[in-house]
Structure 1
């Protein structure tokens, strides 16, 4: 989500670091020939960062790590991956913990196509820093899934561990009295990172010097309690996290005294139109939170893409989002037995926004919460780890033209044979299906989704378990897994030295 414009030198350096130096050719008669199209090559190094999973002694966390088979030159090279505990590093507002023990096992894949799993227990499980290179780098995906048996945040919390970046938006955060929201800041690098955390409420910027200049030490992770950044409780907030120096991964852990909790991942970059895929069919409450970071107000048209087409939620056909302010709309039991996806588009002028949903399932004392941020399309391929034989549901939406995708269920971590199936998603609809299961499955497995033909497709995966009557669940979106990088064909041009 870094929108900083790179210089040409920086861009070339970054590409070289990921894919190796592009081959050069000597100048000659072909210098005036049309430039060749950029090559799409597997990445040679990937980084993922997982925040500390538990603030509860009752937390049980499972890690699932997976690299999809990529084929081509990247798959021909040896590779290795590692997941190691982060240091604890506290800044001016961080309630950093002391040095903690490693998870009981670390999920380190040995080869593409087969997941690896690990686990950790209790509140002192550390954040995890991961790197993979060679054949294990393209599309490497790590999920951490935490079960909390009782207390604040009880239920199921899942997160696809993210790559480091410098700029993040989190619409849907809260400092309400029933919520305990932490922003986790994790630094993968050898130098300290300096981070600013800014909150935006319904009236705009919430001034707080405490959130400025937070120090995150090398290879360290810092949790910051959002309620320490403001004296007033806010039900709906947007959190903007920027790194002044260095890179970080960022995610919000949101725990409610009554409604369970989950991870709130960063939303997709600001855009005039957004897709939020995979609202469960039995959702009892859906809340939309949006934020306009620019200088102009946004007027959004709200549509629900169901299994049969688009409809307008009764009484919530539009949402006005003032510049620099957080807006929210309670959409109620939106899906009413038919899983759907939310589509946001401008009613008039195109103004970039960010958005996310808070989704509740269950009734009374048996309610659970998950968050679904707006996401990017599946792209070349999307990957999600930690699927189980029961309780994994795949939601796919084609907001424009009809699209066809291939879904591959990997082998299990302890056995099984990969299987693939194709799905056609009709234009303007959401297709919700049980995730395909590999033959002879043993252990957790991964799903990859690849476009076959037609229009853009967006997706998410819901993982659910029944826990003492509570419909525990978590939802992970399916953006492109960034397994490949575009490398331009380069040539040597000594004539520039004479100009």
Structure 2
């Protein structure tokens, strides 16, 4: 006799509860698709950084920064007290197959965090002189997550690979593509794979040369324990020496970070970052510095159709077709490399590779090895095809005397706000607005207010239009001079989320 009243009460409670349940099923008259939503700041960002270097004379500076973001979620403290650093990197121990001691849970146990960040808008910097310094991985949460960026800059004073190596720590993913790596005898290229998660993952590496894939089982089924980093010398993946190769890295489960440490016996060393591979649009390589002595362009076509690319060079006065390098044809599934001697004629610029009509989706993986300097004092750096700045992009680790920005507008003119942050050791931020004329590249150097000390960050915020950007960092430390280039794609600081609304119809399913 009491069951009916209890059932009615349960239904009433359920009806009350579901009026607050989100319905994500669009119907007539309901809100627009997710893509049309106003973006909101992300609340969690994960980054991985490769092992800096194995050189005894290496010294690495890490600089972390999160730009201020309107609407970013604040940290939750304990009884009103600060809950501690919400953005920090922790060691990811190196793992070699058969090394049962390698690896470990993500987060590095009780290890001390590197460059812990406690507030947006102020960079934090730290120097590491340990030749055995490990790879790093870490997480930024709540208001420190949107746009969290970490620059890793290493100076090697002597020996093979001496010079400057620079890279921005990267967000993990399931697949990465590289162009411009090498298994030649003059190169010692290492692919560094970092697993930021607790579960182990299995990774496949495939090399592609001028004739297609380089058959090898050595790069298949490589296990990377949770929280560990695995270095793989590319010449062990395919024993046949190749001057130029493209590299495909795929995680069968989970996600990874992947970057290539390229070391040349004559040209020093630098990091080769993954390339963006846009479909249907141009591949843009911004940030070729003034004074570049040579440009070796490597392009891989991953699709089933040959791709012909019209070559453009965008300088301060407009975009031209360089004489002798008007177009490049890349057979499907192969890599093509060409030396663009004196293509910039001493001027800074951006390379633009536009698919010609009839080239399928036009998707390519492209990067360029740049050399600068004279005779036996030349050093190399890399710039890869990248995505546009989008909503916002930042680069940390800048120095007052060694930083140059390259900004390229492929279409109409673009107005961009450039904000130079305070230094890690003091100062205040300063913002300025610049206009980049259509189809031109504008170069900028920082003008900092008095009192700015230590490494600082730069943030780009376009006001409409499409913008590509890169930062060149020249370093001269203790007699070792060198340079490195990092592109500045969108920082993925926001995400579109669906609107929610009460939906009683879920009780009818």
Say whether residues 1:279 and 2:299 are aligned partners.
no
Distance 1:157 1:98, change over 3 A: farther
Does 1:32 pair with 2:28? yes
Give yes or no for the alignment of 1:415 onto 2:414: no
Question: 2:370 matched to which residue of 1?
Answer: 359
The match for 1:302 among 275, 296, 311 is 311
Measure, in 2, the Cα distance between the counterparts of 1:356 and 1:101.
37
The structural deviation recorded for 1:93 is 11
> Which residue is equivalent to 1:136?
144
Q: In terms of mean alpha carbon deviation, does 210-219 or 463-472 score higher? A: 463-472
SS at match of 2:73: helix
Counterparts of 1:21-420 in structure 2 under 5 Å? 24=21, 32-36=28-32, 37-74=36-73, 80-91=86-97, 106-272=114-280, 273-349=282-358, 350-420=361-431
Question: Where does the alignment leave 5 or more consecutive residues of structure 1 unmatched?
Answer: 1-22
Deviation at 1:438, TM superposition (A): 4.5
Ranges in structure 2 where 5+ consecutive residues have no aligned partner: 1-19, 78-84
- The structure carrying a bigger strand percent of its residues is 1
Q: Does the 8 Å contact 2:55/2:156 carry over to 1?
A: yes
CA RMSD of aligned residues (A): 2.6
Q: Contact conserved, 2:48 with 2:194, CA < 8 A, in 1? A: yes
Number of equivalent positions: 474
Deviations along 1:85-114, one digit per CA (max 9) or x if unpaired, are: 112222379997999999997211110000
- The answer to whether the 8 A contact 1:267-1:355 is kept is yes
Q: Conserved in 1, the CA contact under 8 Å of 2:307 and 2:362?
A: yes
TM-aligned CA deviation for residue 495 of structure 1: 3.6
My pick for the range that moved more, 375-384 or 103-112, is 103-112
Q: Is the 8 A contact 2:23 2:500 kept in 1?
A: no
Over 3 Å counting, the alpha-carbon distance change for 1:171 and 1:26 in structure 2 is closer
Partner deviation per Cα, 1:282-318 (whole Å, 9 max, x = no partner): 0001011111111111000011001001111221111
TM-score normalised to the size of structure 1?
A: 0.90
Pick which of 83-92 and 45-54 moved more.
Answer: 83-92
Distance 1:108 1:438 in 2: 26
- In structure 2, do the counterparts of structure 1 residues 26 and 160 end up closer, same or farther at CA, with 3 Å as the change threshold? closer
How far apart, CA to CA, are the structure 2 residues paired with 1:260 and 1:103?
A: 32
Cα offsets for 1:115-147 (capped at 9, x unmatched): 011121243110011111011111000110000
